[in-house]
């Protein structure tokens, strides 16, 4: 397996582990009506820095960019009208989740509680479906259709990209 796909699929595993944890936090909040807001802010931070900045932006800047450039309209349909729209939906969910936690801190009403659960669980559902599609369809499509020299270049660029996180 190419380095870039190996790294991206590993990140999906980490994101999906996090999603299970976030669902557990929501379940506890629903059952016991208690929330550790610091834990939810940590979750928001993980989504912004790891799932979005490190993972989604890496897909956008490297693999997806190359797919649109080198494969053409079929890739453009999958990437621009599928994956990138879902990345934006994930960004909307996390910013709404952050606002909902802030609102609940100021005013712990049932409605503000509902918003936290709604945005957190929407994020979880979206990411599960999104990662599944990439693991099973989008990455295979890219690897199958990108020229070897482009895949080799992406394997070098992904190592460079990861250096800022070392």
Min dist CB 4 to Fe ion, Å, is 12
**Checking phi first, is residue 91 left (phi over 0); if not, alpha (psi -120 to 50) or beta?**
alpha
Q: Choose one: 21-29, 102-110, 119-127, 129-137; the region binding Fe ion (CB under 5 A).
A: 129-137
Nearest to Fe ion of 101, 131 (CB atom): 131
Q: Are 74 and 128 in contact (CB under 8 A)?
A: no
Query: How far is residue 161's CA from residue 5's CA, in Å, rounded to a whole number?
Result: 14
Q: Is the dihedral of CA 87, 129, 25, 93 positive or negative?
A: positive
Min dist CB 102 to Fe ion, Å, is 27
Work out whether 115 is an interface residue with Fe ion (CB under 5 A): no
Nearest-5° angle of CA 128, CA 130, CA 135? Answer: 95
Return the closest-CA partner of residue 81 out of 139, 4, 138. 138
Segment 52-71, which members bind Fe ion (CB under 5 A)?
Answer: 59
Min dist CB 38 to Fe ion, Å, is 27
Nearest to Fe ion of 21, 128 (CB atom): 128
Q: Choose one: 67-75, 89-97, 103-111, 133-141; the region binding Fe ion (CB under 5 A).
A: 133-141
Min dist CB 108 to Fe ion, Å, is 34
Q: Are 8 and 139 in contact (CB under 8 A)?
A: yes
Work out whether 134 is an interface residue with Fe ion (CB under 5 A): yes
Question: Under the rule (CB under 5 A), what is the footprint of Fe ion?
Answer: 59, 134
């Amino acid at each position: 397996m190419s380095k870039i796909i190996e790294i991206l699929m590993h990140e999906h595993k980490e994101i999906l582990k996090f999603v299970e944890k976030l669902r557990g936090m929501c379940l506890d909040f629903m059952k016991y009506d208690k929330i550790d807001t610091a834990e939810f802010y940590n979750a928001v931070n993980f989504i912004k820095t790891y799932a979005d900045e490190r993972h989604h932006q890496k897909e956008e800047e490297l693999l997806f960019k190359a797919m649109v450039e080198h494969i053409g309209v079929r890739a453009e349909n999958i990437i621009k009208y599928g994956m990138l729209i879902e990345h934006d939906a994930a960004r909307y969910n996390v910013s709404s989740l952050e606002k909902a936690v802030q609102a609940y801190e100021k005013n712990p009403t049932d409605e503000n509680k509902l918003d936290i659960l709604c945005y957190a669980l929407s994020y979880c559902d979206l990411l599960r479906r999104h990662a599944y599609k990439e693991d099973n369809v989008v990455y295979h499509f890219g690897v199958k259709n990108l020229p070897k020299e482009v895949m080799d270049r992406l394997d070098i660029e992904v190592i460079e990209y990861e250096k800022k996180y070392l």
